[in-house]
Amino acid sequence: MSERIEDIAIAMVAEGQGILAADESTGTIQKRFDSIKVENTEENRRDYREMLFRDEEAMNNYISGVILFEETLFQKAADGTPFVDLIRKAGAVPGIKVDKGAMPLPGAGIETVTEGLDGLRERLAKYHAAGARFAKWRAVIAISDTTPSHNAIHANAHALARYAALCQEAGIVPIVEPEVLMDGPHSTHDIARCEAVTEWALKEQFQELYYAGVKLDGMILKPNMVVPGQKSGTSASVEEVAERTVRVLKNCVPSAVPGIAFLSGGQSDEDATAHLSAMNAMYDLPWKLTFSYGRALQAACLSAWGGKKENVPSGQMAFTHRARMNSLASLGKWSIEQEKSA
Ligand code: 13P
Which residues, 6 or more positions from 105, have their beta carbon under 8 angstroms from its beta carbon?
111, 112, 113, 151, 152, 155
The phi and psi torsions of 197 (rounded to 5 degrees) equal -70, -40
Q: Quick check: helix, strand or coil at residue 271?
A: helix
Q: Catalytic residue at 240?
A: no
pLDDT at 18: 99
> What is the number of the ligand 1 atom nearest to the C-alpha of 293?
2
pLDDT at 325: 98
| Number of independent structural domains in the chain | 1
| pLDDT by position in tens, the chain (length 342) | 679 999 999 999 999 999 999 999 999 999 999 999 999 999 999 999 999 999 999 999 999 999 999 999 999 999 999 999 999 999 999 999 999 999 999 987 899 999 999 999 999 999 999 999 999 999 999 999 899 999 999 999 999 999 999 999 999 999 999 999 998 667 789 999 999 999 999 999 999 999 999 999 999 999 999 999 998 889 999 999 999 999 999 999 999 999 999 999 999 999 999 999 999 999 999 999 999 999 999 999 999 999 999 999 999 999 999 999 999 999 999 999 999 987
CA of 105 to the centre of ligand 1 (A): 22
The phi and psi torsions of 244 (rounded to 5 degrees) equal -70, -40
CA of 114 to the centre of ligand 1 (A): 15
> What is the number of the ligand 1 atom nearest to the C-alpha of 67?
8
CATH code of the domain in which 59 resides = 3.20.20.70
> What is the number of the ligand 1 atom nearest to the C-alpha of 295?
3
Decide: 72 in ligand 1 pocket, CB within 6 A. no
Decide: 293 in ligand 1 pocket, CB within 6 A. yes
Q: Are β-strands 93-97 and 102-104 bridged in parallel, bridged antiparallel, or unpaired? A: unpaired
Residue nearest ligand 1's atom 5 by CA: 294
Q: Catalytic residue at 199?
A: no
Q: Are β-strands 173-180 and 93-97 bridged in parallel, bridged antiparallel, or unpaired? A: unpaired
Q: Which domain holds residue 57?
A: 5-341
Task: Please state the pTM of the whole predicted model.
Answer: 0.98
Among 50, 111, 177, 204, the active-site one is 177
